[in-house]
Structure 1
């Protein structure tokens, strides 16, 4: 004689498997990332239509938005692997492909093959810099970037275009020899500086919650007023100063016998000890 089932589970058979919960996407930080991506895409479209001032402004807007998405994610505790990957892809478009295409359309096209090679060098270096940053994110000294950050490199290239456009170089730029070669030099410099080992200060150790002397607030007000004297020129000079600061710090550290590289190019290659010295 069969025994009666001792539970509903035995009578009805095995329970259906529990479906795993779907992982959602945090909307707030990714909205800033998408807005930054739109800034880069807008810049490309404007360059294709010969509106290079608007293209430069699009890149600078993308820079501001890119600086906010990570902070918003940390403040709202919405960091995610998806957001990190999305941010890298957005950076590649806004600060890698967009500046390369803009500068090529603006001036480098007049050089023929050297022109598109320079634009490609910049674009490739931006990709290498972002890949290295993502690889070393767990071991990097957060006070410094290894190599020029891609937003700063984009500011060098597009900031120069913005200044020249503001000065009246709107048409026939590709036929002005000295300007084309100067643009070539700035593009290659910005690209190669992204993949150097020179340390660039990251400003990540600055705390907005910490009290500061009153004079600091006055200095910030004066800085904002100075920027507004001539926005394109002042922003470009600011990023030029930042773009050479890494080499100055590199030379200073070598003179003092200190390590000149904040990290190695990779954490799993045994022959990179020399990069620290």
Structure 2
């Protein structure tokens, strides 16, 4: 008994349970849809429908670019969403392209084929882990290494274009298989370089632009509808090479090429930021 003292807890009243944390629906719906795109791409490849696989990965790319923006616009960012996004990226842009390109062409090379697919898959995991580690210290205008969606677009864009043009692995033979091998290794290894790739994160859609920009966008849409596989593949080849162009240009100008803005204190992570 506490003689009615209001400042002392009542022994008969159970302690209040901590409030359970919920999960924001809207941004995670986009993330789950992107994950489904990667899963769908794998299933289509298992059934020999590689064009549908490529479309699945490209749809996952669009959805992946939207989930973070939706979370920021609706103020629904969360640690759960960040982890979910990374896991979705690993499936859609890491494991899925590696398995699809192996099933499409690399399996005919035997051990070198599955090793190339594994290099791509492991580099995607390393790239995502490094991105999460460096998230607060990197220059927002640039990615450190080729982003995993762009790497997936290089590999899947090549498969989509070859299928669209009627180049089949069984008919074309070695040149097509080794070209796929080269694209897979290039995309995978470029993900873990320190080469800066422009992120487009400083582009504001709220800012006014000259009229000619709208005209250019209209022309771009027309070009895309003319031949989607060729346009997609061409754009990502240019982007996949652009980082090395920026790197060389900065070297020639004597400017720093690192995209790390500051350093971290943990000695075991020091090498990640160079």
TM-score, normalisation: structure 1 = 0.93
Alpha-carbon contact 1:5-1:11 (below 8 Å) kept: no
Choose from 134, 146, 149 the match for 1:148: 146
Cα distance in 2 between the residues matched to 1:273 and 1:123: 21
Cα distance in 1 between the residues matched to 2:2 and 2:139: 68
Choose from 211, 216, 221 the match for 1:224: 221
Number of equivalences: 273
RMSD: 2.3
Structure 2 match to 1:167? 165
- Structure 1: give runs of 5+ residues left out of the alignment: none
Cα distance in 2 between the residues matched to 1:188 and 1:68: 28
The 1:28/1:11 distance shift into structure 2, 3 A limit, reads closer
Alpha-carbon contact 2:102-2:114 (below 8 Å) kept: yes
1:68-217 correspondence runs (5 A):
68-170=66-168, 172=170, 176-217=173-214
Q: Which structure's CA Rg is the greater one?
A: 1
Cα distance in 2 between the residues matched to 1:272 and 1:17: 45
Structure 1 match to 2:32? 34
The 1:111/1:274 distance shift into structure 2, 3 A limit, reads closer
Cα distance in 2 between the residues matched to 1:265 and 1:158: 35
Cα distance in 2 between the residues matched to 1:171 and 1:49: 16
Cα distance in 1 between the residues matched to 2:151 and 2:67: 19
Cα distance in 1 between the residues matched to 2:269 and 2:86: 28
Structure 2 match to 1:43? 41
* Aligned-pair CA distance for 1:227: 1.4
Alpha-carbon contact 1:103-1:157 (below 8 Å) kept: yes
The 1:4/1:159 distance shift into structure 2, 3 A limit, reads closer
The 1:22/1:11 distance shift into structure 2, 3 A limit, reads closer
- Structure 2: give runs of 5+ residues left out of the alignment: none
* Aligned-pair CA distance for 1:229: 1.4
TM-score, normalisation: structure 2 = 0.94
